[in-house]
Structure 1
Amino acid sequence: MRHPHMSLRGTTAGAATAAVLLAGTATGVAPTARAAAPAQPPATATATDALPGVRFVDITGDGGVVLKANVFTPAGADGSRTYPVIVLPTSWAMPQIEYVAQARKLADSGYVVVSYNSRGFWQSGGHIEVAGPPDIADASRVIDWALANTPADPAKVGMAGVSYGAGISLLAAGHDKRIKAVVALSGWADLIDSIYSGRTQHQQAAGLLSGAGYLTGRPSAELQQTMKDFLGSNLDKEQDMIEWGRKRSPVTYLDRINENGSAVMLGNAWGDTIFPPNQYAGFYEKLTGPKRLELRPGDHATSEATGLLGLPNDVWTNARRWFDHHLNGAANGIDGEQPVQLKSRSTGAYEGYPDWKSVGATQRKIAMGGAKTIRANVDSGANGGTVLLSNALDQFLKLPPMASVPLLPRAYASVWQSERYAETQRVRGTAKIHTTLSSTKESGTLVAYLYDVGPLGLGKLVSNAPYTFHDRTPGKPFAVDLELFSTAYDVPAGHRLALVIDTVDPLYIEHNPTGAQLTFSSPESDPSYVSVPLRDK
């Protein structure tokens, strides 16, 4: 059960983690037998004329649940020919009109587009299963309906979505061989690594998602219990929760996705506070079919948001190019570009790489020498910001979370700094920390931050990540290896990098018993360091 001293800071903390779970759970799995079976009889549908060029229909999903949907077809479609079809499951808590602007553009480009409200939300029936088996079965049912009721080509089926819709699309690609191409934006590949990274609950993100789920939908009983255990830090149920998340993670079905051969395009933001980019990058490396990875500045779904409003947006432009090539065979050059496309937070310029391993190929270590002890339970002032807001400010105004590094209280924050750099340091990829830790208590949480520190000591956040431990022997040192969230950031000449570690951050639920102290050391036989990935000149 939850440690009596574990802190859940405010009601949003609990709700928060739950929400993250919700989103992550969206990675549910569909029954293998159903996915492998031939297309089922078409589900019933009723249509009403509402907006020009769109039909609003009811599609019967798994178990008879009614899914509210809308359908766009190319102008002049008269049944004399077929068109590639794209299925769009909605994002978490979003209504069925979410993709109207992009669906119209796709239809104008020669696609049949069917967008549907995920079960449990808004007017669709059923309960929120967080991308569980019913959600994946729904995706196949919607494809069945499209093939039976629209001029859709059964050999040219694609799926796409943002956030929850991205997770469902990836999972469906591992369970329905008809899906030839996927575009998954701001989604997840590994639910646990997203919402429970470093064995730490991401409370603000969970609170946001949880609140939105209850306001716009109907959480299932299983989801409610899982959230209760997760938010309550019920360690007796930890393995059950991890298994629950594993079943809802596309990476679990990587072999099926690779066997089915879908062309997969992944897009995410460097500062995504719900689904951090690391787990997408790791998943991308393991895909064996046609693939593309795009990472940009911003937070959860902020990179593609303007496209949902119908405004020019390079994320959606590349999504259409991906479908044009892999469903229609268009020679548009996307297959000849470097498959890993990164947009720098500092310059806004795109950089191409042949694979993720080539990003940040050069490593520079900053020594974490000496022994430093900090007290827990007090926020030092070093923080990762506010969910959605802080990284959106970084995206649009280049204003990341900041802290005055010289003024951080050393009783509550340990600080290690590099020398001042004579040249710009182009940080690309995933910084990694290795250190030796001992605690006066059996449980605890630490949060690590990497700052770009200017001449006056003002630090701009480059990256961060949490780490939680349980059942450790008080006073006995143990090794800690922690990956910070991946990024692309330029540290100007004359600046330095600083690693800061404290124990409290409003983004995360912390597990520090009252009076706990953490000591970081660097044994001669096993030196401590932070390894910073740099782009070669």
Structure 2
Amino acid sequence: MPRPRATLIALLALTLTAAAGGAAPAAAASPAAAVAQQAALATTGVRFADIPGAGVTLKANVVAPAAAGTYPAIVFPASWGLNDLEYIAQAGTIASRGYVVVSYTPRGWWSSGGEIDTAGPKDMADLSKVIDWTIANTATDPARIGAAGVSYGAGISLLGSAFDPRIRAVVMMSGWSDLVYSLYGDNTRHQQSAGLLSLAASLLGNPGTDLSGKLADFNANRNVDEVKAWARVRSAATYLDAINANRPAVLIANAWGDSFFPPNQLVDLFGRLSTPKRLELRPGDHAIAEFTGILGLPNDAWTSLYRWFDQYLAGVDTGIGAEPPVLVKSLNAGTEQYGSWAALNTSTKRYGLGSIRWLDGTGLLGGAPSTGWSKTIPTELDTTADGGVVLLTNGVSAFTGQQPQIWLPTVDRLRAGVWASERPGSALRIRGIPQVHLNLTGTAATGTVVAYLYDLDALGTAKLITHAPVTWLGTSGGSRNVDVALSATAYDVPAGHSLTLVVDTVDPLYYDANSPGGSVTIAGGSYVDVPTR
């Protein structure tokens, strides 16, 4: 159906984002990321097609080599809120490398029929129908089919590899593996990201009663078990055994600061995959690490896509299969490769939380966890410590190379607990998932705290390394222990800087479960475990 107002908004958003992306310097490709050199093939140009899906018509476009013969094929489902034109620049490049490229708009979006299925069973059936059509109507070798995409298209591609064994290779960029974790990570609902997904669906798609109902339940915090059951059906982690049985080669690429699909879930799935696999994590937010590639500009994530499909579909040895399978670009250092996720860190350093000094309202972070102290913070009162704005904060950080920062003295010590370590003479190389353990007293039956890990310099400037919220859902108040896994990170705290923990109870990124006028007391025995190298 026509959506002129929504189309104008979408085009304006894409134009503004492109302007921001164009200002970023192109990342230099490392020797390990070099693409096998080959002569570019002439292509057919873009051909638009209506593909019969599972009871609906899907809008699509096709680009292929012009010469006669059979070729491997890659299917690209479009991202949430976008359509099959999303990949038009990359489709030409990939087709010139010897692939049939079919991009399509998933059901319920733009001019494709039906209602949004949110990577559900109907979307899985549609993907198989697109593969059927591709084999029947293009010069595709049916034994060499891949699926790839960014965000929504990434999730559909990985899920599809569980249901259609014809998919022999997958590249998932800024996708999810566990939709329950994405919505309710550590029992905390993600407010801003879910709100943007809802807005896009209402402006550019046909959400229908299913998606509209689930989003309404999510925002109202009702029927939680039903929403989680719905989300599990749409999670690749649910079908891990089927993916492993089908054995597609899976490349997962994401950003450290993805505010839609935080990377911890991908680390977990990657560890349990028994297929040929690769994990790449870079600075940025959701779809930011891949964005310049969508515009057709040089981009490391898309270079990896070429190499992955050349290796596992085209039969070209690009060397990527023999490289260490985990590639990480640190937030403030270079690119590193490891043989496994566990190899990122070689030790774990425990920083105990100490008593608060009355002079500056700050406690010592370090040494063994101590007892005999407490720090009470109010609920429903925010501080300057926060995770930023969805997409924007970490997105800008990726382009500027500077982490989000605050001036630590502005953090109200009456509203937050602050602990800072001594300033070591050597750099602290954080690699992995820091864990925060808090002993709480005086809590209500339900509540939320948010933990932030900062790099504090001598002038009080604190750069955000990682953060995460945690919510407890009990039946009575009192004392309890809470553990929160902060978002995975790779960051070097310079020598002479202080590792700093801030804990408060409000962050605009998330819904909280706190009662107004309440308080939470953090007690002795609390600590932070930091994975280091």
TM range (shorter): 0.7 to 0.9
Could you tell me which residue of structure 2 aligns to residue 521 of structure 1? 523
Q: Distance in 2 between matches of 1:314 and 1:494?
A: 33
User: What is the RMSD of the two structures over their aligned residues, measured on CA atoms?
Assistant: 1.2
Q: Distance in 2 between matches of 1:328 and 1:56?
A: 25
| 111, 124, 143: which one aligns with 1:155 | 143
Percent of aligned positions that are identical = 51
Q: Does 1:203 align with 2:191?
A: yes
Alignment of 1:114-513 (within 5 A): 114-234=102-222, 237-347=223-333, 349-369=334-354, 370-474=373-477, 476-513=478-515
Decide whether the 8 Å contact of 1:263 with 1:289 is kept in 2: yes
Q: Distance in 2 between matches of 1:109 and 1:498?
A: 49
State the shift of 1:128 in Å: 0.6
Could you tell me which residue of structure 1 aligns to residue 363 of structure 2? none
State the shift of 1:261 in Å: 0.4
Aligned residues: 473
State the shift of 1:382 in Å: 0.7
Question: Aligned partner of 1:477: which letter?
Answer: S
Q: Distance in 2 between matches of 1:194 and 1:226?
A: 14
Could you tell me which residue of structure 2 aligns to residue 17 of structure 1? none
Decide whether the 8 Å contact of 1:376 with 1:515 is kept in 2: yes
3-state DSSP of counterpart to 2:239: helix
Question: Aligned partner of 1:409: which letter?
Answer: D
Question: Aligned partner of 2:51: which letter?
Answer: I
Q: Distance in 1 between matches of 2:182 and 2:344?
A: 21
Question: Which deviates the most, 220-229 or 88-97?
Answer: 220-229
Question: Which deviates the most, 51-60 or 268-277?
Answer: 51-60
| 78, 86, 89: which one aligns with 1:101 | 89
Question: Aligned partner of 1:242: which letter?
Answer: K
Q: Distance in 2 between matches of 1:56 and 1:145?
A: 13
Deviating 4+ runs (over 6 angstroms) = none
Question: Aligned partner of 1:504: which letter?
Answer: V
Q: Distance in 2 between matches of 1:419 and 1:178?
A: 56
Q: Distance in 2 between matches of 1:352 and 1:243?
A: 36
Question: Aligned partner of 1:274: which letter?
Answer: F
Q: Distance in 1 between matches of 2:390 and 2:185?
A: 16
Could you tell me which residue of structure 2 aligns to residue 65 of structure 1? 56
Decide whether the 8 Å contact of 1:75 with 1:108 is kept in 2: no
Q: Distance in 2 between matches of 1:73 and 1:329?
A: 18
| 75, 79, 102: which one aligns with 2:66 | 75
State the shift of 1:441 in Å: 2.0
Q: Distance in 2 between matches of 1:407 and 1:144?
A: 59
Decide whether the 8 Å contact of 2:437 with 2:481 is kept in 1: yes
Decide whether the 8 Å contact of 2:447 with 2:471 is kept in 1: yes
CA displacement, residues 337-371 of structure 1 (integer Å, 9 cap, x when unaligned): 11100001102x21000011111231111102331
Decide whether the 8 Å contact of 1:99 with 1:308 is kept in 2: yes
Question: Aligned partner of 1:73: which letter?
Answer: A
3-state DSSP of counterpart to 2:163: coil
Q: Distance in 1 between matches of 2:181 and 2:426?
A: 34
CA displacement, residues 241-298 of structure 1 (integer Å, 9 cap, x when unaligned): 1111111110010000000000000000011111111111111010001000000001
Give unpaired runs (5+ residues) of structure 2. Answer: 1-42, 355-372
Task: Give the TM-score, by structure 1 length.
Answer: 0.86
Task: Give the TM-score, by structure 2 length.
Answer: 0.87
Q: Distance in 2 between matches of 1:145 and 1:388?
A: 36
CA displacement, residues 29-73 of structure 1 (integer Å, 9 cap, x when unaligned): xxxxxxxxxxxxxxxxxxxxxx961110000101x2000000111
Question: Aligned partner of 1:484: which letter?
Answer: L
Question: Aligned partner of 2:387: which letter?
Answer: G
Decide whether the 8 Å contact of 2:44 with 2:66 is kept in 1: no
3-state DSSP of counterpart to 1:394: helix
Decide whether the 8 Å contact of 1:441 with 1:472 is kept in 2: no
State the shift of 1:407 in Å: 3.4
Decide whether the 8 Å contact of 1:431 with 1:533 is kept in 2: yes
| 66, 75, 98: which one aligns with 1:110 | 98
